Amino acid sequence: MNYHRLFKVIVFLVAVNLLLAFSTLILTAQPPVTLTGILGYEVEDPQGFSGESRSLYSVSDEAGNRIELTIAPEVLGAAGGHFAVYGKRVQISLSDVGVRDGQAVVTALTPLNDSRWFTADPTGDEHWDNLLCKFSAGGSTPPAREFIIDLMDQAVSGMGNYWATMGRGGSTFSHTTTQWKTMPANITISSGHDPILNACLTLHGINPAGAYQVNTFYNANFGSARGGWNFLGEDKRFTWMPDWAYYGNGIYTGYSILAHEMGHAYGMPHGNNSDGDADPYDNPWDLMSGPSLMTGYQDGATYDYYLAKPMNNYYANQLSLIQNSDVFTYAGVTQEIILDNVGLAGTPNYFSATIPLAGGKLYSIETRMQSKGGYQAGFKALDNNQPLNGVLIYQIDPARTEQAWLVLGTTDATSGNAESILTVGESFTDSATNVTVTVLAETANGFRISIGNPASLPFTQTSPAYNSTVETVFPTFEWDVREGATQYTLLVVSKTEGVIFKYSATVASATACAAICSFTPSDAAWKIKTGVKYQWSVKAKDASALVLASSPKWPLYFQALPTVITLNTPAENATVSGVTNFSWNDDPRVTHWTLTLKNRLGVIKFKQPYADADICNGTTCTVALDLTAFKKGAYTWRVKAKHTHVIGKKNSPLRPMKIQPVVSAELPGFRAP
């Protein structure tokens, strides 16, 4: 079949139908038409981001023929959703009802390959041309060209830094910014989108029929802002920025809004909260929902400006800004993971977690740590203007125009305060799948969460904290009460150098538990090795010793002996004789000390163990040693620390000294040999 000719026929039929007198027009007796092409996409954002937006799809062929399409959400969802088809070669079926609002109606849509026609990932060598276009009449006074350059180059908020940060450092973002030029007189504010865009391109020497990647700026407060990509024989990616979108009221909103429109140009649809209205601009956490809603105000050196914020992690993953290897997929087994914040260039853990749902839907889980600053601090919470750190949950539905809805953002008010984000100790349960997400602890760069069935979720441990270092021999282990449990078994296990160190103790809940359960092991079986990694966990059991639930295995390090033993006297290289006090600092982790003296050949001349209680006062340990019988010469001394419940020892440094025997006063006529 000659698809180029078919495209021209369809375009002709659409044009003919537009001449008919009905708002919804029908091509009678026309069978459904099937054709293939590249699916393009652009979005119109109304002035001030107030009201409904328009998502515009089109299909194009290599010869430059293009048909605008109406694709119902259910048709898009049946094809796998927006990201399954956008920018790909697709096969579409057009309805015999002809056109709707000037667009051909799609009844079926199938992607024909897995890869997009273009590189959606805004990393690598990305070059944008910034075109500055004035109307000959009716426009406002535009800002200086330097302001547009600043939109791209500003160190904190410019698009170069923003997309490099969102791309985890992979962008070599560059741009060329033109001078302001005036478009022909026949191009007016009411000329329409395509004529104005083509005039702006031509004005700056870019062929509208060729390839381009442009941000276009206009000096008029008119119409919608836009961003999109189409394929008309060449890649065409653009943003459309009326002056309200980047310059107005003394506050320069262009950073956040330009990032939003460039997001559309890279293929991202809108996000939303979960209030169910038609407004997609009411989730302040997501660049692709509310680009300037509650955006953090910054005071720049030259301009005052609003800061962009990250897009939701699901969209970022679809554009390869977050790699698949950084996304955890829940497979039905209760599990703990660590999610790091989106401001990091990389992670040894995960950036996102997904929970598959029925009908191709899923939950996407991510963290935000506004306390880290940067783009994460791109808006201020509605309730107290304080930074919020926590876990965001999105429901992703491919059959929606805005696929990502903020689950806890059920109203505009709650979408921007602490109710929209899970903090430590809080949970979300999906009743349909009976899966619960619980925030267990905040880490240095994110949060540790559990995902699983509530009945099998581990109960929460309290102390020692996750991955902590304990500087005591007898730590107290604490955990939450598990309903129905009458006893608990504590396990502390380490495997180092092929040797397993294991401690197990079972305690009755009546003895160990009140508001929480606690147990401090101190029996003869409690033997730990200092400086190595352990894991501790608890099993909750019923009266018949049946395990009701198991806690996770938390990493733990014991520093059960002093890391440094400070020697006091004798001082280094001191000369001593007779009864000499050897002293050093005491440590509560030591039950026994051994004092050792060696001569210059390394031969032990004195070695004696002491109980800490016999020679120490809690601050200093002292041993008085009579050196009268020792030969004159160079010696070294040290002490060794041990604890009866600790495997291993700790030696102090060797300290040099000299022994000078006591010499009696000489008798007359007598000379010492």
- Which tens digit of pLDDT belongs to each residue from 188-224? 999 988 999 999 999 999 999 899 999 999 999 888 9
Phi, psi angles (nearest 5°) of residue 196: -65, -45
The token pair at 216 is 């276009």
- Residue 434: predicted pLDDT: 85
DSSP 474: S
- Residue 58: predicted pLDDT: 92
In the predicted structure, residue 123 carries a pLDDT above the cut 80: no
The stretches of 496-581 forming alpha helices (DSSP H) are 509-512
- According to DSSP, the residues that pair with 519 across neighbouring strands are 477
Separation in Å, CA 202 to CA 199, 206, 216? 5, 5, 12
Q: Are the C-beta atoms of residues 202 and 182 closer than 8 Å to each other?
A: no
**How does residue 458 score in pLDDT terms, banded at 50, 70 and 90?**
low
> Which residue reads 């956008």 in tokens?
86
Q: Are the C-beta atoms of residues 633 and 658 closer than 8 Å to each other?
A: yes
At 542-555, the pLDDT tens digits run 999 988 877 888 88
In the predicted structure, residue 537 carries a pLDDT above the cut 60: yes
Rg of the chain in Å (alpha carbons): 36
Mean pLDDT of 290-294: 68
Set out the domains of the chain in order of their start, with CATH numbers: 3-111 (2.40.50), 120-267 (3.40.390), 269-454 (no CATH), 458-558 (2.60.40.10), 567-659 (2.60.40.2550)
Q: How far apart are CA 118 and CA 99, in angstroms?
A: 28
In the predicted structure, residue 14 carries a pLDDT above the cut 60: no
Q: How far apart are CA 299 and CA 293, in angstroms?
A: 17
Of the candidate ranges 135-144, 300-309, 342-351, 488-497, the one whose mean pLDDT is the lowest: 300-309
Q: How far apart are CA 393 and CA 406, in angstroms?
A: 6
- According to DSSP, the residues that pair with 235 across neighbouring strands are 231
- Residue 552: predicted pLDDT: 80
Angle between helices 159-166 and 254-265 (to 10 degrees): 50
DSSP 16: H
**How does residue 668 score in pLDDT terms, banded at 50, 70 and 90?**
very low
Q: Are the C-beta atoms of residues 376 and 366 closer than 8 Å to each other?
A: no
At 348-368, the pLDDT tens digits run 999 999 999 999 999 999 999
Q: How far apart are CA 396 and CA 361, in angstroms?
A: 6
Cβ burial of 185 (10 Å; 0-12, 13-18, 19+) is exposed
Q: Are the C-beta atoms of residues 324 and 331 closer than 8 Å to each other?
A: no
For 367, residues 6+ apart whose C-beta sits below 8 A from its C-beta are 339, 340, 341, 342, 389, 390, 391, 392, 446, 447
Residues of the chain above pLDDT 90, percent = 56
Q: Are the C-beta atoms of residues 246 and 308 closer than 8 Å to each other?
A: no
Amino acid at the residue 572:
E
Phi, psi angles (nearest 5°) of residue 194: -60, -45
Of residues 42 and 51, the one with the higher pLDDT is 42
Of residues 284 and 254, the one with the higher pLDDT is 284
Q: How far apart are CA 309 and CA 260, in angstroms?
A: 9
DSSP 145-205: HHHHHHHHH-TTTSHHHHHHHHTTT-B--EEEE---EEPPTT--TTS-HHHHHHHHHHHTT
For 39, residues 6+ apart whose C-beta sits below 8 A from its C-beta are 57, 58, 59, 85, 86, 87, 88, 90, 92, 109
Q: Are the C-beta atoms of residues 568 and 637 closer than 8 Å to each other?
A: no
Q: How far apart are CA 497 and CA 377, in angstroms?
A: 45
The token pair at 564 is 């440094």
What does the mean pLDDT of the chain come to? 85
- Residue 669: predicted pLDDT: 47
In the predicted structure, residue 670 carries a pLDDT above the cut 60: no
For 571, residues 6+ apart whose C-beta sits below 8 A from its C-beta are none
- Residue 188: predicted pLDDT: 94
At 60-77, the pLDDT tens digits run 877 778 889 999 999 999
Greatest pairwise CA separation for the chain in angstroms: 144
Q: How far apart are CA 370 and CA 364, in angstroms?
A: 19
Separation in Å, CA 175 to CA 131, 265, 310? 10, 16, 21
The H or E element that residue 3 is part of is: helix 3-17
For 347, residues 6+ apart whose C-beta sits below 8 A from its C-beta are 326, 340, 445, 446
At 406-416, the pLDDT tens digits run 999 998 888 88
If DSSP codes are grouped into helix, strand and coil, which group holds residue 11?
helix
Q: How far apart are CA 297 and CA 300, in angstroms?
A: 10
